[in-house]
Amino acid sequence: MVVLVGAPMVLLGLPWAILLQRVVTWDQPALVPLALLLVGGGALIAGLGPLVAVPAAALERRRLRLTDNRPTRSGHRPAPADPVGWIRVRYREPATWRALCYAILLVGAVPVWYGAVLILLVVIAVSLASPFLVDGDGPVSLGVGTVATVGDALPYALFGLALLPAVPYLLAVTAGAHTAAARLLLSASTDSELRAELTAVARSRVRLVDAFEAERARIERDLHDGAQQRLVSLTLQLGLARVDLPGDSPAGQAVAVAHDQAKLLMAELRELIHGIRPQTLTEAGLPAALRELADQATIPVTVRADLPARPPPGVESVAYFAAAEALTNVFKHSQAATAAVTVADHDGILTVEILDDGRGGADPSRGTGLTGLADRVAVADGRMLLSSPAGGPTLIRVEIPCRPIDRSA
């Protein structure tokens, strides 16, 4: 279909072909028009070409759907409505000049290629029809030879018949090459632009992680230094009031209940602060925080940490909470008797392995725990690997890059 739609463009190449033929045959009168064409045409294409290439590229993107159903997004930026502003934006963006290159290719090379394909199709058709073109009155020219009898035409017919199965492939190659050129030059991003966009996304994600960790630390600090201290003071005052009041009096009983509730609230607030960011993680680092986590576990947990230097705060936080979430899954679902956490630094990659001797069979599709764990690690540009055969053991390996990342926009 694309070949049929693009076939009229062969006509656009006829003036160029005639001029080129005269130059090749050293037709000197053609040299002056050629020089004028090169100089004037180059200036005209550079000046006015983008104004034609932009709408032509939009039409080609629509026509591209005939052979490729993948969406092709324009790479043009939004432009002002006024003509001057529109031209200023369009002439400064790479997408416009890629569209101009495609337009030149469309006018220059595509007609030549389509013409060659059309000539070959005509040769095949004439060769196949050659036995029916011989009338016995004289020789008949087939373009590739002359025949006078059916016997003379038979080799040409066999030649056309042999090439006939190749016609669909030839048309497919032609359409595919045209489609590939259009997608390469008219799509929203080239490879370099796509890499730049991915780099920008990675940097923005790193900045978001840093901002999230900073906000997490601020909330933990405000709760620890503000709300928790005031709650401790309130608990002490209620304790003093409880001592001063008779225990069997209504006021004493009310103060006792308030005192117990305040102590319970203080314990819950301490757990909340610890869940936001453990104080041990901030002050002593990842190994100490993991050992504290192991001490609070319901089963024996061994922690082995070999870190030459302390990782960045964001990496530490992701590694700690990944280990904490993995151990929580072990306690809830694995029926394990023991577990082990191993932390190491391999060439700038922080690895955390959580191994348990449970029943195995962990499957991320059965719940959101492992999927959430993988998402948490992916935010830090890391990955999670899982090995959990039926019957155990289960091994979760988390890898997080510790290399410095450019955070500039």
Q: Do both 14 and 145 map to the same domain?
A: yes
Q: Do both 26 and 126 map to the same domain?
A: yes
In residues, how long is the chain? 409
CATH number for the domain harbouring residue 361: 3.30.565.10
Closest CA to 352 of 290, 295, 263, 404: 290
Q: Tokens standing for 205? A: 């994600």
Indicate the residue among 188, 214, 241 that finishes a domain: 188
Residue 335 near residue 329, CB atoms below 8 Å:
no
Whole-number Cα distances in Å, 304 to 195, 296, 320, 373: 39, 16, 14, 21
- DSSP code of 403? S
Q: CA end-to-end span of the chain, whole Å?
A: 45
Residue 37 belongs to what H/E stretch?
A: helix 31-63
Question: What is residue 199's predicted lDDT score, i.e. its pLDDT?
Answer: 64
Q: Do both 269 and 220 map to the same domain?
A: yes
Q: Is 80 helix (H, G, I), strand (E, B) or coil?
A: coil
Q: Which residues contact 306 (CB under 8 A, 6 or more apart)?
A: 343, 344, 345
Q: Do both 311 and 375 map to the same domain?
A: yes
Instruction: Please report whether residue 409 resides in a domain.
Output: no
Q: Tokens standing for 39? A: 């100089």
Whole-angstrom Cα distance, residue 166 to residue 230? 86
Q: Is 305 helix (H, G, I), strand (E, B) or coil?
A: strand
Residue 114 belongs to what H/E stretch?
A: helix 94-133
Q: Tokens standing for 316? A: 């530490």
Whole-angstrom Cα distance, residue 370 to residue 396? 10
Number of domains in the chain: 3
Instruction: Please report whether residue 139 resides in a domain.
Output: yes
Phi-psi region of 260 (alpha: psi -120 to 50; beta: other; left: phi over 0): alpha
Question: What is residue 115's predicted lDDT score, i.e. its pLDDT?
Answer: 85
Q: Do both 16 and 148 map to the same domain?
A: yes
Find the Cα–Cα–Cα–Cα dihedral 76, 77, 82, 87, rounded to 10°. -50
Residue 79 near residue 90, CB atoms below 8 Å:
yes
Q: Do both 314 and 383 map to the same domain?
A: yes
Question: What is residue 19's predicted lDDT score, i.e. its pLDDT?
Answer: 52
Expressed as residue numbers, the domain containing 334 is 285-401
Q: Do both 59 and 160 map to the same domain?
A: yes
Closest CA to 153 of 133, 137, 130, 135: 130
In degrees and rounded to multiples of 5, residue 269 shows phi and psi of -65, -40
Instruction: Please report whether residue 96 resides in a domain.
Output: yes
Q: Residue 86 carries which side chain, given as an amino acid letter?
A: W
Output the DSSP codes for 115-138. Answer: HHHHHHHHHHHHHHHHHHH--SSS
Question: What is residue 11's predicted lDDT score, i.e. its pLDDT?
Answer: 45
Instruction: Please report whether residue 163 resides in a domain.
Output: yes
Instruction: Please report whether residue 194 resides in a domain.
Output: no
pTM over 0.75: no
Whole-angstrom Cα distance, residue 188 to residue 92? 15
Output the DSSP codes for 139-160. Answer: -EE-SS-EE-SHHHHHHHHHHH
Q: Do both 271 and 311 map to the same domain?
A: no
Indicate the residue among 229, 248, 276 that finishes a domain: 276
Q: What is the CA radius of gyration of the chain?
A: 38
Q: Do both 207 and 182 map to the same domain?
A: no
Question: What is residue 10's predicted lDDT score, i.e. its pLDDT?
Answer: 43
Residue 147 near residue 49, CB atoms below 8 Å:
no
Instruction: Please report whether residue 154 resides in a domain.
Output: yes
Asked if the bond preceding 250 is cis, omega within 30° of 0, the reply is no
Question: What is residue 6's predicted lDDT score, i.e. its pLDDT?
Answer: 44
Residue 324 near residue 339, CB atoms below 8 Å:
no
Whole-number Cα distances in Å, 359 to 297, 341, 356, 368, 393: 18, 18, 9, 19, 7
**CA angle at residue 241 from 239 to 242, to 5 degrees?**
65
List per-block mean pLDDT (blocks of 10 residues) for the chain, which spans 409 residues: 42 50 53 60 63 76 74 70 75 78 79 85 86 75 77 83 88 83 72 62 64 68 71 80 78 79 76 68 83 86 86 83 86 86 87 88 72 79 85 87 56
Q: Do both 268 and 334 map to the same domain?
A: no
Q: Do both 146 and 112 map to the same domain?
A: yes
Question: Bridge-partner residues for 340, per DSSP?
Answer: 302, 355
Q: Is 201 helix (H, G, I), strand (E, B) or coil?
A: helix
Residue 178 near residue 2, CB atoms below 8 Å:
yes
Indicate the residue among 128, 158, 188 that finishes a domain: 188
The number of beta carbons lying within 10 Å of the beta carbon of residue 42 is 11
Q: Do both 58 and 156 map to the same domain?
A: yes
